[in-house]
Amino acid sequence: MLPAVSDPSTARRGVSPAAAALLLIVIAVTAALLAYTWIASLVGAGPETPPLHLQELLKIEALEQKNSKLRITVKNIGVLEAEVQRVYLIDERGLAAASYAVDPPLRLRPGKEKTLEVEARVAAGTFTLKIVTTRGIEASYRLRVQGGQRPPAPIAGTLVVAVEPPQGGVTDPPSGTYSYPLGAAVVVAARPSPGYRFVAWLLNGSRYSSEETTTVQVTGYITLTATFQAAPLFQVANKTLTASGPPSSQAEIAILVRNEGAAWGGFSVEVYDQNQQLAGSTQGSAQPGETATVKLQVLLPGAPGAYLWEVKVLNLLTGAYDDCRGMTVVAYSETGQPSFQIAEYNPQVYGTSSESTTLSFTLVNTGGAPGHAELQLYNHNNQLLTWQQVALQPGETITVPLQAQLPPSPGTYTWAAKVYNLDTGSYDDEKTITVTVLSELIRNGDFSKGSAYWNLENPWYVDTSLQLARAHTRTNEDFSASISQTFEAPGAVTLTQLQLYYYMYASPPGQVDMLQLRIAIENSTTTLWSDSISWSQSTNPASRTYTAPLSLQLSPGTYRLRITAIVDVKRGGLSELDVRVDNVSLLAAPP
């Protein structure tokens, strides 16, 4: 019997033990990787980044209405720094009854609150107050406005004011975006910077007006651009201007003219005599920064004497006079005795009690011979205070300084300057001088008596070693703190000058958003005058003597001088802030 033979196509094959083991290992590794990936995704997945409206959150903490003013206290309860850019009052119809731009935007760090103030220029009624950030996040508050100033009307027009080029000048209102009722008439004004001239207003790119002050109607979204052009600006560069010679003779005058502007241009020099009659003129031109010399012949007066003429520089491009200077003209005799005149002097002298001051006089010899003169200064009691002797040739001029001490009591006094001719034994000339002794209204302005008479808010203190008021600290927060002093106006007075020394330093300077000193003169209810001194990173530290000319009339009463340091810092704060004030002076003159 033959053995059975298997069919290869139907025979069953087994898996070898080695292959089976390898297959099980691959399956196990794959399962482990899948399990690890799934578990890692569960463990590593954090919460999703919240949307913007949950990161930047504002809350209106308080709202106060006083007359037509709304004081809004806003708190940042989010996690991002926010900037409030605009405030709206929405009426019950859902229309914007008023819109206010917050310029610059009110910056709020997380957890911080600040107050802003707007004017509720709407009729009485119920409104929704809405504040909007630069990212478009809103916060709202329902309120009742008590008595407004105009009926609610939607703000439908926008006026954009621009300047081209930016350094060419300034506008009123300043460059920026403004909202007005549709159809409102807005007055705008342009003022060129030195070295530029106003060209025209452009309305939406088209020429609108060549007048510096004009009126535009807000018909929708409009752009009004003040355009300026670089122009020359001419100044007389001579330190002194004089001309002399015999009466009715010709004299040559050399005049230096410097172009302080930003463009080449031509000018005309005009000389006017003591009667404001044109005595001569000539023309020239100069590049920016260049000084040109022009010469012209003039006819001197027919009688011996000293005369005050004027030199004017006419800008041929702008058609305006850029400069005007006085010139001493001397017509002197060719024969006879010397004769002396006071050609120039200051008829008004101001100072404080017992202050030492220097008075300057220009003497000329208008006679026909060399001579000697004595310039004498007399006070209000006709007492000789000081004198000085000089020698002059015919036609010669000389500047004579005389030093004297002002009276000890505030008031107005009449002094006299006399020229005594030592050759003839007679007085040739006499001039009257009005001397005003000003009252110093601030006590202990140099802080030599510590904090006496001053009220200092923290962190201000008196540094006794430096003898000045100082705010020297490190800070992570914005603050506003002042030093102040009350003063009395014993009668009707006019404030003439405020002066102080200041020093401002911040480290690191990049952490400062704003640092300034605000100076104000106040009565019990009102700020009568104010000004600000601003710090910048480019001048750190900043220090100098600040002087403000004043013309502020006060009635008898009590007033206050307030000097406030205002600091706005970025997150992280300042490691050092140093603000100093010294030598505070406030002068007043009788009316």
Under the banding of pLDDT at 50, 70 and 90, the label for residue 43 is very low
CATH 2.60.40.2360 fits 54-145, yes or no: yes
Query: Does residue 210 register a pLDDT over 60?
Result: yes
22-31, 137-146, 433-442, 561-570 — which is least confidently predicted? 22-31
2-6, 148-152, 454-458, 552-556 — which is least confidently predicted? 2-6
For domain 342-438, give the CATH superfamily. Answer: Immunoglobulins (2.60.40.10)
Under the banding of pLDDT at 50, 70 and 90, the label for residue 13 is very low
CA 193 to chain centre: 14
Retrieve residue 277's tokens.
């009659």
Q: Give the Cα separation of 141 and 127 in Å (integer).
A: 8
Which tens digit of pLDDT belongs to each residue from 48-59?
Answer: 445 544 577 888
Higher pLDDT residue, 4 or 529? Answer: 529
The SS3 call for residue 538 is helix
Mean pLDDT to the nearest integer, 406-422: 94
Residues 157 and 179: beta-carbon distance below 8 Å: yes
Which tens digit of pLDDT belongs to each residue from 108-136?
Answer: 888 888 888 877 666 677 778 888 887 77
Choosing among 1.10.8.350, 2.60.120.260, 3.30.230.70, 3.90.950.20, the CATH entry for 455-589 is 2.60.120.260
The per-residue pLDDT for 590 is 79
Which tens digit of pLDDT belongs to each residue from 480-516?
Answer: 899 999 999 988 889 999 999 999 999 998 888 888 9
104-118, 215-229, 395-409 — which is least confidently predicted? 104-118
Mean pLDDT to the nearest integer, 156-172: 86
The per-residue pLDDT for 540 is 87
Q: How far apart are the first and last CA of the chain?
A: 154
Distances (CA, A) of 189 to 127, 203, 205: 35, 14, 18
Mean pLDDT to the nearest integer, 18-27: 60
Query: Does residue 85 register a pLDDT over 50?
Result: yes
The per-residue pLDDT for 7 is 42
Average pLDDT over the chain reads 85
Query: Does residue 392 register a pLDDT over 90?
Result: yes
3-12, 202-211, 334-343, 356-365 — which is least confidently predicted? 3-12
CATH class, 234-331 region: mainly beta
Higher pLDDT residue, 422 or 479? Answer: 422
Q: Give the Cα separation of 233 and 267 in Å (integer).
A: 9
Q: Give the predicted TM-score (pTM) of the model.
A: 0.54
Cis upstream peptide for 508 (omega within 30°): yes
CA neighbor of 302 nearest in space, from 245, 219, 240, 232: 245
The amino acid that residue 134 corresponds to is T
Q: Give the Cα separation of 405 and 385 in Å (integer).
A: 8
Rounded to 5°, the CA angle 342-345-349 comes to 140
Under the banding of pLDDT at 50, 70 and 90, the label for residue 3 is very low
Are 342-438 and 455-589 equal in CATH topology? no
The per-residue pLDDT for 51 is 54
Q: Give the Cα separation of 170 and 163 in Å (integer).
A: 7
Query: Does residue 19 register a pLDDT over 70?
Result: no
The per-residue pLDDT for 95 is 65
Mean pLDDT to the nearest integer, 235-253: 90
Q: Give the Cα separation of 232 and 316 in Å (integer).
A: 9
Which tens digit of pLDDT belongs to each residue from 548-588?
Answer: 999 999 999 999 999 999 988 887 788 899 999 999 999 99
Mean pLDDT to the nearest integer, 451-471: 95
Q: Which residues contact 454 (CB under 8 A, 6 or more apart)?
A: 444, 447, 462, 469, 483, 484, 485
Question: Where are the domains positioned within the chain?
Answer: 54-145, 157-230, 234-331, 342-438, 455-589
Mean pLDDT to the nearest integer, 14-43: 55
Higher pLDDT residue, 34 or 3? Answer: 34
Mean pLDDT to the nearest integer, 271-280: 95
Under the banding of pLDDT at 50, 70 and 90, the label for residue 76 is confident
Query: Does residue 29 register a pLDDT over 70?
Result: no
Which tens digit of pLDDT belongs to each residue from 331-388?
Answer: 998 888 999 999 999 999 988 889 999 999 999 999 989 999 999 999 999 999 999 9
Higher pLDDT residue, 18 or 474? Answer: 474
